[in-house]
């Protein structure tokens, strides 16, 4: 691995350096609801897309929603880093964290975007964002916008040198 690759990888491993990018992406596309609801995939959700332990009828404060978002974002970032075996730029790490947050890390483990990325096929991986715009078999305009923004962020800083 070249020195530039090591620097890119190290930069993406500092969550605090990209925290604001991740949170901005999530807040833009998740929206916040303080009462539990079923998301487009039929999962009980609350706050900024939080799903763990949510039951119908639950409600939270804005402060709780923001705290959950911060905790969830960090956890999904860490999950994403465990799945990726190639160097990343900061933009790539932020985009992939948003992608994992939306689809779940267990799904990302086997999806074609991560498979191509881990082969070092950065351009092919970037092109895969647009494949993940369906929920329940229906193409959703919100997911089309989200994936376009994630792809833009993924490509924002260029590619780690090889």
Catalytic residues: 30, 39
Which of these, 151, 135, 64, lies nearest to 102 by C-alpha position? 135
Q: Which residue has the tokens 């799945």?
A: 83
Please tell me the total number of residues recorded for the chain in this structure.
162
The phi, psi pair for 140, rounded to 5°, reads: -110, 130
> Can you tell me the distance from the alpha carbon of 147 to that of 47, in angstroms, rounded to the nearest whole number?
21
User: And the tokens for 27?
Assistant: 């807040």
């Amino acid at each position: 691995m070249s020195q530039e690759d090591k620097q890119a990888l190290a930069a993406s491993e500092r969550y605090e350096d990209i925290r604001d990018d991740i949170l901005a992406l999530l807040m833009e596309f998740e929206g916040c609801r303080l009462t539990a609801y079923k998301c487009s995939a039929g999962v009980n959700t609350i706050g900024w897309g939080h799903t763990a332990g949510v039951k119908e009828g639950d409600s939270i404060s804005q402060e709780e929603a923001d705290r959950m978002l911060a905790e969830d974002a960090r956890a999904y970032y860490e999950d994403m880093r465990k799945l990726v075996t190639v160097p990343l730029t900061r933009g790539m790490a932020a985009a992939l964290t948003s992608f994992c947050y939306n689809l779940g890390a267990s799904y990302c483990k086997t999806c074609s975007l991560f498979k191509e990325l881990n082969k070092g096929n950065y351009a092919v991986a970037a092109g895969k964002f647009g494949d993940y715009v369906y929920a329940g078999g229906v193409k959703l305009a919100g997911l089309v916008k989200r994936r376009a923004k994630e792809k833009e962020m993924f490509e924002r800083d260029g590619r780690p040198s090889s």
